[in-house]
Amino acid sequence: MNYKEELENILKKHELELREFNYNYAKDNCPYNIGDIVEDHYQRVRITNIIGFNTLNGEPTLIFEGHNLTKKNEVKKREPITRIYESNIKIKI
């Protein structure tokens, strides 16, 4: 193996370890779980899945997917599935 190939392999391994660390950090430090109902500035969501993480605001935070709810906690007929960022959540209901 030459220098460039070896360096590329090391950088890929490092990137994977960093992504795993960020995801685990975000998951371990998140106060929300699957099944929780949360609200941000314009929607209410029942969390059904963790779909990734975001590091745009410094520390890694999770991105959730879930059922878009009405104020009565019923699933909306239009746009029943939505995504919500942990950093945008205002309240846990």
Whether residue 1 is predicted with pLDDT greater than 80 in this model: the reply is: no
* Every domain of the chain and the residues it spans: 3-92
- At 56 the pLDDT is 75
Interval 52-92: pLDDT, tens: 888 877 889 999 999 999 989 999 988 899 999 998 999 99
Q: How many other C-beta atoms can be found within 10 angstroms of the C-beta atom of residue 76?
A: 14
Question: In the sheet that 81-85 helps form, which strands lie side by side, from edge to edge?
Answer: 81-85, 61-69, 44-54, 37-39, 91-92
Taking residues 38-46, report their average pLDDT.
94
CA distance 79 to 82: 7
Return the residue matching tokens 């209410």: 44
DSSP string, 30-45: ----TT-EEE-SS-EE
Q: In terms of Cα–Cα distance, which of 44, 49, 54 is closest to 64?
A: 49
**Could you tell me the pTM of the whole model?**
0.80
Interval 18-29: pLDDT, tens: 999 999 999 999
